Structure 1
Amino acid sequence: MPEERGPRELTEHERGEVLRTYMPQGRITAVPVRRPDRLVLLDQVARAFEPGVRYTGAEVNAVLCRFSADLVVLRRSLVDEGFMEQDRTHYWRCGGTVDL
């Protein structure tokens, strides 16, 4: 079985292919089964959140609804995969790539 590569190990071309396949017009059409592809998708969504800013659940939902109608799965995936953290009242971005 071939070894799966993480999102940072994919070339820009490969990242682009994943985004064109699963987010053809900026909205998620399906969640990839392959974890590296799913991480590329979640990384793209995480870029919509500013590092260091704390967001309420309502604010997170407002951002996520631009990407998908399934807010619960998307929010949970961002937390589970380490792109965001949460406490009882807020979420904040803690992972993913940052444009410089």
Structure 2
Amino acid sequence: MHAATIAGLLADPTRLKVVAALALGARTIEQVAEVTGLPLKDVALAARRLGRAGLVRRDRHELELLTERFGAAARAAAEAAPPPEPLSDDPAEDAVLSAFVRDGRLVSIPAQQSKRRIVLEHLVRVFDVGIRYPEREVNALLAVWHPDTAALRRYLVDEGLLTREAGLYWRSGGWVDV
């Protein structure tokens, strides 16, 4: 079964409630109806549809959620997904960035200075050259990357990638795409 098929099945609120009730321990149509507040008829129809899709095993009024099907679909989707676009043309830099940046967010700030520098040089590109930013705007841009904006701001200034004067920041280092 494809992950998209499962997502489509669970997009229906009734089927989602039935799956949730089964995942939490309900074992019969009556128990699912009681826990979800859904009419028996709606639970039976949802269970039938989930059963035809192979997500629920039904034996009279007994229901069993086949949880292994969800994991199998997730693994298959992950294997079929195209590899992520490299974050840098340099393989060494890309390895560092791939370790710390996921889905456009910084998962952690590297402790090692050399790795932190690579991440900061990548991150500083959100600031346009020649523009002065108030601290509030710097924080807003950095918050998109990581919640610890003060640490990122301090590291960027310490590394000479941003300069601060009179409460304004501007880009003063790093590579510039032209």
- TM-score, length basis structure 2: 0.49
Deviations 1:42-88 (A, max 9, x none): 00110000011000011101100110000100000000110000112
% identical aligned pairs: 37
1:6 match = none
Counterpart code for 2:140: A
Distance 1:93 1:67 in 2: 17
Deviations 1:20-61 (A, max 9, x none): 100122111112122221101000110000011000011101
Alignment size in residue pairs = 90
- TM-score, length basis structure 1: 0.85
Q: Which structure's residues are more often strand, by fraction?
A: 2
What RMSD, in angstroms, separates the aligned Cα atoms of the two structures?
1.1
Distance 1:30 1:57 in 2: 22
Of structures 1 and 2, the larger Rg is shown by 2
Give yes or no for the alignment of 1:73 onto 2:73: no
Q: Which runs of 5+ in 1 are unaligned?
A: 1-10
Distance 2:151 2:141 in 1: 14
1:32 match = 110
Deviates more, 1:49-58 or 1:27-36: 27-36
Q: Which runs of 5+ in 2 are unaligned?
A: 1-88
Counterpart code for 1:92: W
Q: Structure 1 runs of 4+ off > 6 angstroms?
A: none
Which of 97, 117, 128 is 1:50 aligned to?
Answer: 128
Distance 2:100 2:143 in 1: 16
Deviates more, 1:23-32 or 1:48-57: 23-32
Deviates more, 1:44-53 or 1:11-20: 11-20
Deviates more, 1:85-94 or 1:29-38: 29-38
